[in-house]
A and B are shown apart, each in its own frame.
Chain A
Amino acid sequence: MTQITATTSASESFGARAMHWLRTINPVYYIALVLLVAVGYLNPVFYTPDPFLAFLARAAPLMILTAGQVFVLVSGGFDLSVGSVVTSTVIISAILANNDPNSTWWVILFLLAGGVLVGLINGAVTTFLKVPSLISTLGMLLVVRGVGLLWSGGAPRGYLPDNLRMFGRSGIEGIFGLRQFPYAVILLVVFAVLYWLLLHRMNYGRQLLALGDNPRASRLSGVNISLVRVSAFVICSVSAAIAGILIGGRGGVSIEAGTGLEMQSIAAAVLGGTMLLGGRGSVPAAMTGALALEVLFTLLNLMGLPKPLRDAVQGLIIIGAVAYTAYSTRKTR
């Protein structure tokens, strides 16, 4: 009798523990899973290696961008300038490189330096002029796009040499029995690991989360909050510049290259459970949020929805997912 009770209660508690454990998993992973299964159901070819890697390569820019955005979001700010940084990166790289393969390396260095500069200005204005980041990065949205358009005269010109475009569109041929292993996926993995280490395994990440949670307390406990905050903006803008190189490589030169990416990256991060106004967020979950958005685009495409309606469904899903996350956090508390 006692034995039976013991086993049933043990199994119950196992079941309850399993349920509890499943509930602690960030809902974004379930959302991504459901969407991935749906795409696989509609298009089984999706799960053969080459198409799947091609999909990941297409998702890479938004995922890297979102990971960068997470750093600013957890520090308690926003970065609205990333879309403009992407656009200007694409425009300016084409003008500078102008189809000369020898120029590629210094052009990349120049673009990354540009990213650092934008991040420094965003961070400095927010930290030292005390302008709310929503406004400072909105100002930079206009400034950065203006610089790109002024430089190019408002229309895309110049060409990207193939060895600059390769990051976005090609890969290592014939390894692991694959047709091609995209460079974009390699970069994606490198940045995912790097950003995960930075935010979740290093002192810097802890300081950033503490700053977002309570700036005053973290300053009083000896965190150099100005430095930490400015560096978060720099990480974000550099990520945008890298995303710009990938997007330019993939899609070619366009003045619309980065339109809307600022809101997409924020929505993706929030989908991944990042708390706006700071203090909580995770790089893997946010990147999964970005992945989920990209899978959603693929799914809506497969379902043959006209492009405008895709926007509407995207809006519905973002609201629904965030409402669900808000609901489940309230319940677990």
Chain B
Amino acid sequence: MTALTPSAASPSVIDRARAWARARNIPPVYGILVIIFFVSILADLFFGIDNQLFIFNPTILTNILVRSVALGIVAVGQTFVVLGASIDLSVAYMISVTAVGASYLMAGDPNRVWWTVIVLFVVGAVVGLVNGTIITKLKVNPLIATLGVGLILKGLLNASFANFAGSVPISFQAFAYNAIGPLPISVLVLFAVVIAGWFLLRRTRYGAHLYAVGGSEETARLSGLHTDRILTIAHVICSMTAVLTGLFVVSRLRSGAPWVGTDGLYDLESIAATVIGGTALSGGKGGVWGTLAGVLIFSLLDTMFNQIGIDAYMKQILRGAVIILAVGFYTFRSKAEQG
């Protein structure tokens, strides 16, 4: 009996950590993030193909954050629509439209940066408005509505551009490549977006309304909320984060091509990151900090796979398995009937 005491002590450490995290409203996905972090260190230690451990290498550590920027920004937007019990499959095409549009409109001229950026955000807002209107007014299922809008964007884009078009000026590439002190600008932008998302969701009336709509649309409507308007605004926000991701992608690539959004699988991966982060697909539960952890898990895994030299296709397999297991990690105890 006494021999069991040491092993009995360890769950209490986990329990205490859990209680500590819960008291501070830290989503449980951070537990998974920490576990994967330690597993990565061990994997790097035993199977790493170079002699340098990533944990002691600030460049690689910063890189994990930079890797998260593109997916992270759009995943924050995706979190908004998923919280409203909707979904957005058009973001990947919106990213492509932005990337191509930016490099085509800027055409390497620094003077055209600002109005191009404004035009693209307006386009994003219009696309979000269209998504939201089709879903709320025409009552089309969000999966189908945003898939349809995505196909329309894809069609129009591919009909106009076949390849890389134009380029962004060097000054615009500062967004992707410059740093303030040790922190890259892009990472600061990511954190700004996450904090803005958190503020909007947790500290404003709009956020409370969005949670109410996602929790039960009917109840929210009967309590006098303009549910259609609230969900449409979430879609506008989501499309605009896709625009911001598109701007980051094009500032890194210097020029946009019609396939940059779809090749990045931003639609499905942003949904996966949102759900791994603990936001319920049925809406009304979750938040942007969890989503950030979901995105960090993806980048951390990518970095570890690179460190231990895993084949590109094997990476896909492991990525898929991690998505399933990470979500299964906290759903398997639930009593809810899943579909």
Contact = CB atoms under 8 A, between A and B. Distances in A.
Contacts of B331: 129-132
A134 B322 CA distance: 15
Interface in A309-332: 309-316, 318-319, 322-323, 326-327, 330
A290 B158 CA distance: 24
B36 to A, nearest CB: 16
A130 B159 CA distance: 42
A140 B149 CA distance: 25
B68 to A, nearest CB: 18
A80 B323 CA distance: 14
Interface residues of B, number: 48
Chain B CB count within 10 A is highest, among A125, A146, A326, for A146
Interface string B317-328: 101111110011
Main secondary structure of the interface of A (DSSP, over half): helix
Contact of A330 (B139, B268, B332): B139
A127 interface: yes
Interface stretch (B59-67, B118-126, B196-204, B306-314): B306-314
Contact of B155 (A315, A326, A327): A315
Contacts of B323: 135, 138-139, 142
Interface string B137-164: 0111101110111111011111100000
Contacts of B313: 146-147, 149-150, 154
B339 A212 contact: yes
B316 interface: yes
B330 to A, nearest CB: 9
Contacts of B138: 319, 323, 326-327
Interface stretch (A25-33, A52-60, A244-252, A262-270): A262-270
A319 to B, nearest CB: 4
A190 B35 CA distance: 50
Interface string A265-286: 0110010000011100000000
Contacts of B4: none
Contacts of B268: 80, 138, 141
B244 interface: no
B117 interface: no
Nearest to B265: A142
B134 interface: yes
Nearest to B154: A311
A139 B154 CA distance: 24
A319 B145 contact: yes
B141 A322 contact: yes
B152 A316 contact: yes
A278 B339 contact: yes
A322 B146 CA distance: 12
Contact of B272 (A135, A147, A306): A135
Interface in B96-152: 134, 138-141, 143-145, 147-152
A138 B272 contact: yes
B317 A127 contact: no
29 contacts: A130-B328, A130-B332, A131-B331, A134-B275, A135-B275, A136-B324, A139-B272, A140-B324, A143-B317, A146-B317, A149-B313, A150-B313, A150-B314, A216-B337, A266-B143, A270-B141, A276-B141, A276-B143, A277-B339, A308-B154, A311-B151, A311-B152, A311-B154, A315-B154, A319-B145, A323-B134, A323-B139, A327-B139, A330-B139
Given A276-B144, A310-B155, A319-B144, 13 more contacts: A126-B339, A129-B332, A131-B332, A132-B275, A133-B338, A134-B281, A135-B281, A138-B320, A142-B323, A146-B320, A311-B158, A312-B154, A323-B140
A-B residue pairs, 4 tightest by C-beta: A312-B155, A76-B339, A315-B151, A142-B320
Interface of B: 89, 134, 138-141, 143-145, 147-152, 154-159, 268, 271-272, 275, 281, 311-317, 319-324, 327-328, 331-332, 334, 336-339
